[in-house]
Amino acid sequence: MTTQTEPARPDSPRSDLRFLILGAGMSGILTAIKLREAGLNDFAIYEKADRLGGTWRENEYAGVACDVPAHMYTYSFAPNPEWSNRFAAGAEIQEYFEGVAHRYGIDELIQYGKEVRRCEFVDGRWHVELSDGSTDVGDFVIAATGVLHHPAYPDIDGVDDFGGAAFHSARWDHDVPLEGKRVGVIGTGSTAIQIVSALVDRVAELSLFQRTAQWVMPIENPAYSEEEKAEFRRRPEAMEEIRAEVTKVFTERFANILGDAESPLLEAIHTACEENLENSVKDPVLRERLRPDYRAACKRLIMSEDFYEAIQHPNANLVTEEIERIEAGGIRTRDGELHELDVLIFATGFRVDRFMRPMEVIGRDGVTLEDAWRENPSAYMAITVPSFPNLFMLNGPNGPVGNFSLIDVAELQFSYIMQLIEQVRSGSCRELSASQEALERFDSERKEAAKHTIWASGCKSWYLDSDGIPAAWPWTFDRFREEMDKPHLDDFETR
């Protein structure tokens, strides 16, 4: 559908604003709900897949769960008394988003099977082209396209030579039987650790190919009893209390300290991980092979109640020898050994620098996002890029990522974006994006602060950009909240 109206004069309030929401994952659903709440009903939601849910639709691997407590990983306005456990499984989270989208009447508005291929800013409005050949025009683009979205496959010789079934964790092939099979998992990130725990006693043999050991923070995952759930239904404040408590602990004892590698609280986290390793792994040789040589929380911290138990299971085999190549029969390591496998799982992460891309995005004066992000993706306050007016991102580059509730992050970001939209709605301006000067200042302060973060303390991870600088929000989470509270309009170029 195409809506063509002349842009209004800057001094007249607007009641004709149209919004194009890209993606129907957690952030896209949030955007639609919040726009409606603000009385902004003219929007389209474009989703390339045939289901909503974003990351929770894509990740159906064995053991998929969220290691952020469920009552925190929930929209603040849609508490869920039905969470089964302290930490929810992926399928349950997917069901939650489907339920919320249905309750708010958003699901029927989503246009499925429509991938946005191109967005161009022409005469003050965004013109988009979709994979089915249709077009649309809107005043704002809200990119809710996700961060960990494009699977990364390992650069290993013979990666296509494997004779059995092989797939990426985010492209799980449910048709491949795993029972009684020899299964190999490459990677030791949060995904691989969940897979290993879930599969070890289902398969004949599970080989975990570890390039880098991980620190593991112990967690407990008790189920909520029927009485507790009944109490949540009767008294929703009980869920709010849990959320407030968990958020407070998480903010003060984790999110606020990542920017200060010298924080004693980080030392305490390190000690807790060391104790977990000492107390959980009996064999001293295996223990040393599982011991990382960098500080805890330098990479995204693994939260697990059972990984160490799983890796000591008789079916488990930890392979620390470097992979030489993949062959038809399995994985050959540098010591010459062939680890024979029936199934190979790539838990090798994502191309985290993609964001909206490969979509072609053309801003003011023909500037492309590809050009703007040639070195590394960056966005003022993780939300706006100069020369791309009225295009705002949720969970864009430089935001708080990692062991965070990205729902919390997206809600804070949307309240900021809403204030920018209000500038246009009220007639203060027609277009706004961060100024070049503001982005440069933000970027140089961000990179300076990044040097002091735990992520820069001597390990490799997906947090680092192509120059080796942590790209995530390097300050405290409290500062993020403060920044999101109110935009500094002086940092915006308006027309």
Residues that bind ligand NAP (CB under 6 A): 65-68, 148, 154-156, 169, 186-192, 194, 211-212, 300, 323, 347-350, 402, 460, 462
Token pair of 288, please? 């040393």
156/238 with CB nearer ligand NAP: 156
d(CA 467, CA 455): 13
| Shortest separation between residue 77's beta carbon and ligand NAP, angstroms | 21
Rounded Cα distance between 389 and 362, Å, is: 11
What angle do the packed helices 26-37 and 406-425 form, to 10 degrees?
40
Conformational region of residue 277, where left means phi above 0, alpha means psi within -120 to 50, and beta covers everything else: alpha
Q: How far is the CB of 124 from ligand NAP (least distance, A)?
A: 37
Distance CA 104, CA 365 (A): 38
Tokens 């680890």 correspond to 339
Nearer to ligand NAP, 62 or 192 (CB): 192
**Least distance from C-beta 402 to ligand NAP, angstroms?**
6
Q: Are 100 and 29 spatial neighbours (Cβ–Cβ below 8 Å)?
A: yes
- Measured from the CB atom, is 276 or 435 closer to ligand NAP? 276
Tell me which residue of 109, 96, 108 sits closest to 54, measured CA to CA: 96
| Residue closer to ligand NAP, measured from CB, 200 or 438 | 200
Q: What's the min distance (Å) between Cβ of 397 and ligand NAP?
A: 15
**Closer to ligand NAP by Cβ: residue 63 or 389:** 63
**Minimum separation from the CB atom of position 350 to ligand NAP (A):** 6
Nearest approach, Cβ of 193 to ligand NAP (angstroms)?
7
Rounded least distance, CB 270 to ligand NAP, Å: 18
Q: Name the residue nearer to ligand NAP (CB basis): 191 or 398.
A: 191
CB-nearer residue toward ligand NAP: 155 or 179: 155
The least distance separating ligand NAP from the CB of residue 37, rounded to whole angstroms, comes to 27
d(CA 128, CA 19): 11
CA 345 to chain CA centroid, Å, is 21
CB of 171 or CB of 441, closer to ligand NAP = 171
Query: What is the rounded CA–CA span in Å between residue 469 and residue 376?
Result: 10
Q: Which backbone phi and psi does 456 adopt, to 5 degrees?
A: -100, 15
Closest CA to 59 of 176, 188, 153, 150: 150
Q: Which residue from 311, 316, 320 is spatially nearest to 280, judged by alpha carbons?
A: 311
Nearer to ligand NAP, 68 or 116 (CB): 68
Interhelix angle 477-485/406-425, nearest 10 degrees: 20
**Residue sitting closest to ligand NAP (CB):** 189
| Burial of residue 59, with CB atoms counted within 10 A of its CB: 0-12 exposed, 13-18 middle, 19 or more buried | buried
Q: What angle do CA 184, 185, 188 make, to 5 degrees?
A: 150
Q: Indicate the residue among 191 and 433 with the shorter CB distance to ligand NAP.
A: 191
Is 415 within 8 Å of 484 (Cβ atoms)?
yes
Q: Smallest distance, Å, CB 382 to ligand NAP? A: 16
CA angle 190, 353, 461 (to 5 degrees): 40
Q: What's the gap between Cα 332 and its chain centre? A: 32
Q: Least CB distance from residue 66 to ligand NAP, whole Å?
A: 5
Q: Is residue 206 helix, strand or coil?
A: strand
